[in-house]
Amino acid sequence: MENDVPDQPDSQIATSGPLTGFRVVEFAGIGPGPFACMMLADMGAEVITLDRPGANKNQKSATGRGRKIIELDLKDTAPRAQTLDLLEQADALIEGFRPGVMERLGLGPDVVLSRNPRLVYGRMTGWGQEGPLAQAAGHDINYIAVTGALAAIGPAERPVPPLNLVGDFGGGALYLVVGVLAALLEARKSGQGQVVDAAMCDGAASLMTMFFDFTAAGRWSGERGRNFLDGGAHFYGVYQCACGHFISIGSIEPQFYALLRQHAGLSDQAFDAQLDREAWPSLKLKLEEVFKTKTRDEWCGIMEGTDICFAPVLNLSEAPLHPHMVARKTFVERHGAIQPAPAPRFSRTPSTIRESETADLASLIRAWRR
């Protein structure tokens, strides 16, 4: 990768971030739980990951960064007792097992909160802690399917999974982080912890709030490809260029649409009917032909930086090298690989990426008690 992507300082730098001083115990899992703990660690929290013996997790992975990792068998009595001792000194717990697993291990909320009443107990699941599907297996695609989100995404022919951004990370990890932080704030006032039940289906449904609003107001069709934000409108979508690459256009507001017409040479009076839904299919065809007359780079030279609401569609190799991404140091190089830098940004207590390392449970308990 080009040297334009900055190196990220590692754990040699003192811990920073607004969560410095907070202690989080993570029970190792996959997907949204580790991503949430990555964010907490980036923001300065001391995150202790309890993993099974021999797990051999990649400590250099992006989502696993910033942890102290302890391997132990929670089915054994002694490690379980030590875990409770550790949790007595923690501010938050994060677990992503199916409902009932932590209770069967003797580490459910009733047991843990009786030892540490101020603890925030964060639970990450797909279906939630209760309900008819609570014990069923599932993945992101299933959780967003029942919320209306999946049905709204993709071309008219069929829904398209939006990677696992909407369920796992948007509706799951981010809502878990918000919930845990809100509960930590409340615990500082009341001295009492609580359980945060973060279900990906709940979070994905919440993310759809605006579209339920649009539907109630009669501004959203249940048919994909018929709406102004789902690719139905000619002024909001993705177009292929002469080179085979793509660009994105989001010229919703009339003043931005006027600029689109000006820079793309759309003098045809048919484009006057910006909000005529019946005209959208034919106008999309016209725009497709226009954008195929130039390469992506040529369109960038014409439109990028204007108020058209334009951007090139970049792949994972290209994105870190975009001038705006480089200027903001949005991506960093770590262990020879490119990964996103911490977000959001703080003016006084900046987040940092720290190295993960193995730790000894007994030593950590002694350190936390001091």
Find tokens 């509960």 and name the residue: 183
Per-residue burial over 171-207, b if 16 or more Cβ lie within 10 Å, else e, is: bbbbbbbebbbebbeebeeeeebbbbbbbbbbbbbeb
Contacts 24+ apart (CB under 8 A), 323-331: 326/4, 326/5, 329/6, 331/5
**Residue 180 to residue 228: CA distance in whole angstroms:** 35
Q: What is the pLDDT of residue 7?
A: 64
Q: What is the pLDDT of residue 16?
A: 86
Q: What is the pLDDT of residue 60?
A: 80
**Residue 155 to residue 328: CA distance in whole angstroms:** 34
Task: Give me the domains of the chain, ranges plus CATH numbers.
Answer: 23-209+338-369 (3.40.50.10540), 246-312 (3.30.1540.10)
Q: Which two tokens stand for residue 176?
A: 């878990």
Q: Give the catalytic positions in this structure.
A: 139, 168
At 239 the three-state DSSP class reads: strand
pLDDT in tens, 51-73: 999 876 667 899 999 999 999 99
Name which of 193, 191, 209, 77 is nearest 147 in CA terms. Answer: 209
Q: What is the pLDDT of residue 14?
A: 56
CB atoms under 10 Å from CB of 274, counted, come to 19
Find tokens 């014990």 and name the residue: 135
**Residue 276 to residue 194: CA distance in whole angstroms:** 51
8 Å CB contact between 27 and 94: yes
Q: What is the pLDDT of residue 13?
A: 45
pLDDT in tens, 234-246: 999 999 999 999 9
At 192 the three-state DSSP class reads: coil
HSE of 311, CA atoms in CB hemisphere, 13 A: 11
Q: What are 248's strand-pairing partners?
A: 238, 311
**Residue 266 to residue 361: CA distance in whole angstroms:** 67
The low-confidence residues of the chain, meaning pLDDT below 70, are 1-14, 56-58
**Mutual angle of helices 32-42 and 174-190, in 10-degree steps:** 60
Q: What is the pLDDT of residue 3?
A: 46
CB atoms under 10 Å from CB of 242, counted, come to 13
| Segments of 29-84 assigned E as strands | 46-51, 67-71
Predicted TM-score (pTM) of the model is 0.94
- Please count the residues of the chain: 370
